[in-house]
Amino acid sequence: MNTLINLPNLILQNRGLILSTEIQTLNRRLERKQAISLIHRLSDSFPEPGEKDHSRKVSIFSIQFYELLGRNPGEIKNASLLHDLGKVYVDQRLLYKPSSLTNEEFAVIQEHPNYARKILEYCIARYGSHELLTSAQRIAEFHHERFDGTGYPNKLGGTEIPEEARIVSILDVFDALISERPYRKAIPAEKVYEIMSKGDGRTKPEHFDPNFLKIFLKNYLKFTELLN
């Protein structure tokens, strides 16, 4: 599919086009390998190696999680790669700011799930649909929702949040805590376990689906081993 070759450039150069242009829906179905190719091209559009690395790790954790559930991880492995796709629209200076964000700056970052939804809607309309893309869209749009309804962008709660987004949300927070950030060092694994199981000022266990959190915590060592 030659039309996919310049997709990352298209995204980065035509943000007005993607966010505002009406696109004629093709009602086409993509083949699975075309959908996977599109997902990988989109995930290559992250300009920063840090974001690519984060997406790759969340994808690896997702495979482990689905294996623990006894499910085939083929879908989540690819779909979770795009959970932060919307960050391609966020000013990189904000994403990698070495100090705390102002409320206004945080509000800009909080738009990334909406940006991802728009990018994926655009891609589906332009190139055709596939369950991998609609799953990627659900994850990207809802991975910052919280089980207790305090997340964003829509303050959904409980099972209103799509299941795969409830799973990725745990793995996303795990990787964010255990990895070095521009404004702090990596948090040791034992401390991350404590934060996710008991909470701290920012992260609370109530943010997560209790059944999935239980599975994650019970198998915590398996996830930390994947970091090596």
Output the CA torsion sign for 74, 116, 41, 94.
negative
Q: Which is nearer to Fe ion, 145 or 172 (CB)?
A: 172
The Cβ of residue 115 has, within 10 Å, a number of other Cβ atoms equal to 22
Q: Which residue has the tokens 């991350």?
A: 192
* Minimum CB distance to Fe ion, residue 8 (Å): 18
**Cα(33)–Cα(123) distance, integer angstroms:** 15
* Minimum CB distance to Fe ion, residue 29 (Å): 28
Residue 55 per-residue DSSP state:
H
User: Which string of b and e fits 66-104 if b means at least 16 CB within 10 Å?
Assistant: bebeeeebebbbbbbbbbbbbbbbbeeeebeeeeeeeee
Q: Are 1 and 26 in contact (CB under 8 A)?
A: no
**Cα(27)–Cα(171) distance, integer angstroms:** 33
Q: Which is nearer to Fe ion, 164 or 172 (CB)?
A: 172
In the residue annotation, 87 being an active-site residue is answered as: yes
| Chain residues in the site for Fe ion (CB under 5 A) | 84, 172
Grouping H, G, I as helix, E, B as strand and the rest as coil, residue 88 is helix
Q: Which is nearer to Fe ion, 115 or 127 (CB)?
A: 115
* Minimum CB distance to Fe ion, residue 211 (Å): 22
Q: Which of 77, 87, 185, 214 is catalytic?
A: 87
Q: Which of 139, 162, 143 is nearest to 153 (CA)?
A: 143
* Minimum CB distance to Fe ion, residue 54 (Å): 6
* Minimum CB distance to Fe ion, residue 126 (Å): 24
Q: Which residue has the tokens 């398996």?
A: 222
Active site residues: 87
